Amino acid sequence: MDLVVLVAFSSWLAPTLASVADEDKDYDSAFHYDYESLRIGGLVVAVLLFIMGIALIVTRKCTCSNSDKSRPRGPDVESAVPKDS
Amino acid sequence: MGYGRSDSYRVATTQDKVDKSPKKKKGAKDMDDLKKEVPITEHKMSIEEVCRKFQTDIVQGLTNAKAAEYLIRDGPNALTPPPTTPEWVKFCRQLFGGFSVLLWTGAILCFLAYAIQAATEDDPAGDNLYLGIVLTAVVVITGCFSYFQEAKSSKIMESFKNMVPQQALVIREGEKVQINAEEVVGGDLVEVKGGDRIPADIRVVSAHGCKVDNSSLTGESEPQSRSPDCTHDNPLETRNVAFFSTNCVEGTARGIVICTGDRTVMGRIATLTSGLETGKTPIAKEIEHFIHIITGVAVFLGVTFFILAIVLGYSWLEAVIFLIGIIVANVPEGLLATVTVCLTLTAKRMAKKNCLVKNLEAVETLGSTSTICSDKTGTLTQNRMTVAHMWFDNQIHEADTTEDQSGERGRGRRVPLFDKSSVTWLSLARIAGLCNRAQFKAGQDALPILKRDVAGDASESALLKCIELCCGSVRASRDRNKKVAEIPFNSTNKYQLSVHETEDVNDNRYLLVMKGAPERILDRCSTILLQGKEQPMDEELKESFQNAYMELGGLGERVLGFCHVMLPEDQYPKGFAFDTEDVNFQTDNLCFVGLMSMIDPPRAAVPDAVGKCRSAGIKVIMVTGDHPITAKAIAKGVGIISEGNETVEDIAARLNIPVSQVNPRDAKACVIHGTDLKDLSQDQMDDILRNHTEIVFARTSPQQKLIIVEGCQRLGAIVAVTGDGVNDSPALKKADIGVAMGISGSDVSKQAADMILLDDNFASIVTGVEEGRLIFDNLKKSIAYTLTSNIPEITPFLLFIIVNIPLPLGTITILCIDLGTDMVPAISLAYETAESDIMKRQPRNPFRDKLVNERLISIAYGQIGMIQALGGFFAYFVILAENGFLPTRLVGIRLNWDDRSCNDLEDSYGQQWTYEQRKIVEFTCHTAFFVSIVVVQWADVIICKTRRNSVFQQGMRNKILIFGLFEETALAAFLSYCPGMDVALRMYPLKPSWWFCAFPYSFLIFVYDEVRKLLLRRNPGGWVERETYY
């Protein structure tokens, strides 16, 4: 999981690093930072993380309900039908 | 509590509204009075004396005038409802109880601080106001949530009311009149018949085959016969008293009313139950303890920095605001919601496993339980008589008593099957089927035999079902053997007989079948059927009969003897008129066939469950209204008295010495009779509870059950009570957790209980214990996690005060952590699985094992929290340094920094900053600090997953936790990057590199705690464990 996070981070880093690299030539111009792409990149990551989290929960729900269905039914079936001796 | 029951005895009930103050004083005394045994003495008086006492007449009944007079004196024959708590009071309890107090205090302090600021400053910062509002909102929302969650109503009295009979047949002035049961008064002559509810406590003056079902009162499964003679000193056991709201099953009886309304035995139980005050739940006590610790820390920090601020030269008012700020910063805003949600989740999970929890706090109680007092009838047993053993062919055979006829008896034992082809067995089955008045109710052919309803008394039904199961339709057999004559069972004969035609059409003889008390039956027999052959009864066979009878009786079973005879055709030709009144046929020289014994058998899952409770260190005590022999037999059957353990009496019998010579210390088990219990002093009682591990209380009254529970609680045990009857309800209410049975339980018991087992399965209790222990552990983890982030939230403010740096973390960002990013991971810890087998350890000691202890605080605040704070400050200094403010420049800069008029503040490089520019940098720092806390909390939630094991042992299977990690990061990124946040929450977008400032600290936390846990595991009981294991 951490790997995924790292990848996500680095992909979001790349454009801003590039933009910083472009600009460090002119030392006298006013300090400028590309907040717009930073914002977009950050939001994209946030949304991605959010969706991944939701996806995790949804998959969990599925397996959970499956196992829940199978588990209580087992003993029920046994007790519902008495074995006449 | 607080309503004088015995007062209203003497004065009219209208008094109720008059003076309430003296009643409250008497409340406590009344409760003690109620706990005493029933003060009925009428059963020992002769009928004449009773009549004299009530000035009534045995034939004419009361006069109408007298009845009216009594009605005014005693009040109506109804149960007084307890004073109900209005809904708003309950709501307020949720709103101001326990943890909420802490948040309320915080909110009030916030408003106070804001008021001070508003009064002194021109343009006060709104932070304190917002914080106060948010705190209030959190408390109110959580309060509403738990109010609706619980929505439990104490309708105890109402469910008692449902049991009250509506109409009663009384004789007044010689005439039978049907009146409302409420109007029945003491001295009334009442008539009851089968199917009626008894309208009041009555002293029976005459009865015809009257049987009453006392199971709701005493727990005895079988109906008891009633007759005019006093058979026992104890009013609950004597035959000549019938009790209010019990059922008359069959026969008729006439009696004089001796108690009405609240003074009846049932009324006393009702009043006792609804009047009992229950203590705080264990988890409530733990939370209180936690609040004390937190308050202590908060006040200590606050006062220290207040003094420090004064020393540093701040004004009084500023110092007070700092004091309040620090105290409030210590309040874990999100914890109340976290705890509530964690408990709710567990409650939901338990409900899925058929444990319905009525009170949210009771979720944990089973986990702390160290003693379970269990009722027998209906809880441990199936509450239906079943044939358990048979003796024929000079041998004892075992019948299958399991609920589903699977033959499984737990622990892998199986019931050996007997030879069903034996002729003797066939004869026995025929007698049991024919000499039996019970029959299946119509229209149940589709149902399995054991589930069908039967009309008839318990033991006959048991025989009927047994025969139907083994040998097919009893009805068909009865049709083939038409009944010619019958003498029903009565207490003088102690037998029941019937005469039938034979199956064989050509055989004109009559078959006489008889069943009854074994010794009586044997007296009438001269021969015995062995392997299908009639043999003369000799001494040897008689002795073997005696042995079998003793053995089965010793198992607590009810034994019946069976015999038959073919009546000779020459004496009793076809069409012979059998006269059952004046018996004109042979009733001796019969042929003995066998014995059958019945018991209310234990439920299948109980022995395993009891075993699991044992291994979890929980003491299981049986408390029953039933007879000691039966109770002991069942206790042995389910393992409450484990194999090989003996009672004092057993030891005495084995060594052949008098009971008094046995050292009671030698016996681990003991069976105590209710009448002995009455004479025990408190010390003796404590002694018994302390020194015996396996205890059975038999013949106990509802009051005694309560006393037993109180005795256990006095010894420091956390007591769970399971029960299903009305007689258990006081004990259920008093217990730390009352567990009622969902299917068989009475309404009253369900109302009094905190938890209901929906499937009546005692084994669900084990689930409850497991879940309770798990949630206790997980709450610890959750609290440890939540508290940790308090330190990186407080330290910025402290440094702000002491070294005068620009504020590193604002109130809003703190709230974003506590109520935002921290919430999901904290809750996800409730889904954590157990680290070790929690059912193998002893129950926690409520005095020693606290939910939150100093070690937890030391880990959270002193160790992990400090590292987190370092991480946050690192990010803060990095950002300021990147902007030109090196750390050395920052110290002492605060006054200028926060000065609106200073727009040319120089940084370390001489750049000038306006106020607005500075603030943007400051708020960017807040955001970075916030993000750093999120990053270090990643590591924190992972280390909080376990308290002893390594994360690598525990694994990361908790998907909710991973979800939490994703969500908190997403939320942090969203708050930082979402356009408009700079206006709304004053949060600014962070450069990507600033996210990584806290990473090393996060890693450090992980490594630090893994090493700590490694040391802890390597040296059990060592310094690390003693100082850091929470």
CB–CB of B978 and A43 under 8 A? yes
Does residue A75 lie within any of the structural domains?
Answer: no
> Do both B914 and B821 map to the same domain?
yes
- Nearest chain B residue to A15, by CA: B992
> Do both B753 and B647 map to the same domain?
yes
B233 lies in which domain range? 40-68+163-268
| Mutant choice from B956, B963, B982 vs A, greatest count of A C-beta within 10 A | B963
Rg (CA), chain A: 27
- Give the pLDDT confidence of B143-166 residue by residue, as tens digits: 888 887 766 444 555 566 666 667
Distance of CA B19 to the CA centre of its chain: 37
Question: B178-192, B412-426, B541-555: which has the minimum mean pLDDT?
Answer: B412-426
For the sheet with B669-673, list strands across it.
Answer: B355-357, B755-757, B737-741, B719-723, B371-374, B619-623, B694-698, B669-673
The sign of the CA dihedral B1000, B1003, B1005, B1008 is negative
Any idea which residue has 């109007």 for tokens? B183
> Do both B203 and B115 map to the same domain?
no
> Do both B528 and B625 map to the same domain?
no
> Do both B678 and B706 map to the same domain?
yes
> Do both B245 and B259 map to the same domain?
yes
Q: How many CB pairs below 8 Å do chains A and B form together?
A: 93
CB–CB of B963 and A45 under 8 A? no
Does residue A76 lie within any of the structural domains?
Answer: no
Give the burial class of B394: count Cβ atoms within 10 A of its Cβ; 0-12 exposed, 13-18 middle, 19 or more buried: middle
Does residue A72 lie within any of the structural domains?
Answer: no
> First-to-last CA distance in chain B?
39
HSE-CB of B938 using CA atoms within 13 angstroms = 28
CB–CB of B992 and A16 under 8 A? yes
pLDDT at position B214? 80
A54 lies in which domain range? 1-63
Structural contact between residues B238 and B232, judged by C-beta atoms closer than 8 angstroms = yes
Question: A5-9, B426-430, B709-713: which has the minimum mean pLDDT?
Answer: A5-9
The reply to whether A57 touches chain B by the CB within 8 Å rule is: yes
The number of folded domains in chain A is: 1
Structure confidence at residue B472 as a pLDDT band (50, 70, 90): confident
Does residue B841 lie within any of the structural domains?
Answer: no
> Has residue B654 got a pLDDT over 90?
no
> Do both B633 and B621 map to the same domain?
yes
CB–CB of A84 and B352 under 8 A? no
Alpha-carbon distances of B71 from B13, B74, B183, rounded to whole Å = 10, 5, 7
> Do both B617 and B706 map to the same domain?
yes
Does residue A46 lie within any of the structural domains?
Answer: yes
The pair phi, psi for residue B80, each rounded to 5°, is -75, 125
- CATH assignment of the domain containing B782: 1.20.1110.10
| Mutant choice from A49, A58, A60, A73 vs B, greatest count of B C-beta within 10 A | A49
Cα separation, B283 vs B280, in Å, equals: 8
> Do both B740 and B864 map to the same domain?
no
> Do both B557 and B456 map to the same domain?
yes
The sign of the CA dihedral B228, B233, B237, B243 is positive
The number of folded domains in chain B is: 5
Question: Please, what is the average pLDDT of chain B?
Answer: 85
Q: What residues of chain A score a pLDDT lower than 70?
A: 1-31, 60-85
DSSP B452-507: S-EES-HHHHHHHHHHHHHHS-HHHHHHHS-EEEEE---TTT-EEEEEEE-S-TT-
Pairing between β-strand B669-673 and β-strand B386-392 as defined by DSSP bridges: unpaired
- B18 or B788, which is more confident? B788
> Has residue B16 got a pLDDT over 50?
no
Does residue A69 lie within any of the structural domains?
Answer: no
Q: Active-site residue numbers of B?
A: 375
Does residue A33 lie within any of the structural domains?
Answer: yes
Structural contact between residues B819 and B134, judged by C-beta atoms closer than 8 angstroms = yes
Structure confidence at residue B216 as a pLDDT band (50, 70, 90): confident
> Do both B698 and B817 map to the same domain?
no
Structural contact between residues B842 and B773, judged by C-beta atoms closer than 8 angstroms = no
- Nearest chain B residue to A59, by CA: B959
Does residue A50 lie within any of the structural domains?
Answer: yes
- Domain end, chosen from B268, B284, B306, is at B268
> Do both B895 and B869 map to the same domain?
yes
pLDDT at position B158? 59
pLDDT at position B160? 62
Q: How far is A33 from chain B (nearest CA, A)?
A: 9
Quick one: which H or E segment has residue B930? helix B915-944
- B498 or B157, which is more confident? B498
- Give the pLDDT confidence of B831-871 residue by residue, as tens digits: 999 988 889 989 999 888 999 999 999 999 999 999 999 99
Structure confidence at residue B576 as a pLDDT band (50, 70, 90): confident
- Give the pLDDT confidence of B724-771 residue by residue, as tens digits: 888 888 999 999 999 998 887 777 888 888 898 888 888 888 989 999
Q: Pick from B863, B705, B910: which is nearest to B276 by CA? A: B705
